[in-house]
Amino acid sequence: MNKLENKIILVTGAADGIGAATCRAMAAEGAVIIATDINLEGAQALADSLGNDAIALALDVCDEKAWAIAIKTTLETFGRLDILVNNAGGSGAGSIEDISVNEYKKAMSLNVDSVFIGSKLAIETMKSTGGNIINVSSIHGLRAAAHAASYSAAKGAVRLLTKSIALHCAQHSYQIRCNSIHPGYVLTTQLAAWIDSTDDPKATLDDLLAKHPIGFLAKPEDIAMGIVFLASNDSRFMTGSELVMDGGFELI
């Protein structure tokens, strides 16, 4: 039985990486996908590959007006929104001394403000019907990285924002669950490109592997399956929780 049969699911950052893998995994479980990304061409290609009435929408997650249009289009097209996956994010490298105030603000906008805006608008549409919000944080939302001050701050904020949302919805009997997922390093095309750009790619990869006691880096599909779990009734007793998928990163 498909775990997400006919669920209407909006995924941000859907053009590639974890977002694309999540769309594919959810579609395989019967979901109808709204694939959103600032890269509309990539999101459209992904949606075209899914079938099952999937559509693609352009969405700059830092733009409140763009969010409003995406939610409005979803409601006009499908009549409701069941699940929101706040996946879009990134940037934030640099220590507290290296990163500029402007770079810090951009990282916070992309990684935290986007989750706040999307969740706020989603709750408005879901509170009479119930729903589910899944926020993609990071292992660095639990364990800080000196070389990524703004990213650590942002992903830590996503963790507690998730808990605040979950508690608010529970207190108001909205029947909306909200959880965060915390991946370790995931071998996306972006991470692979960064590894290849370093002075010694093999040493860089070996260093990343050493941080994960399990002995390998995740594939986007690994994290997607965790998101499917959080989206499905298999996790119906979870809200305000963290799903850690880090290959043991937090253990060392």
Handedness of CA 97, 98, 103, 107 (dihedral sign): negative
Instruction: Report whether 25 contacts 224 (CB < 8 A).
Output: yes
Q: Among 104, 151, 174, 185, which one carries the catalytic annotation?
A: 151
Handedness of CA 247, 251, 234, 74 (dihedral sign): negative
Annotated active-site residue 185? The verdict is no
Packed helices 17-28 and 220-231: angle between N→C axes, nearest 10 degrees: 50
Instruction: Report whether 155 contacts 189 (CB < 8 A).
Output: no
Residues in the chain: 252
Which of 127-138 are b and which e, b meaning 16 or more Cβ less than 10 Å from the residue's Cβ? eeeebbbbbbbb
> Which positions are catalytic?
151
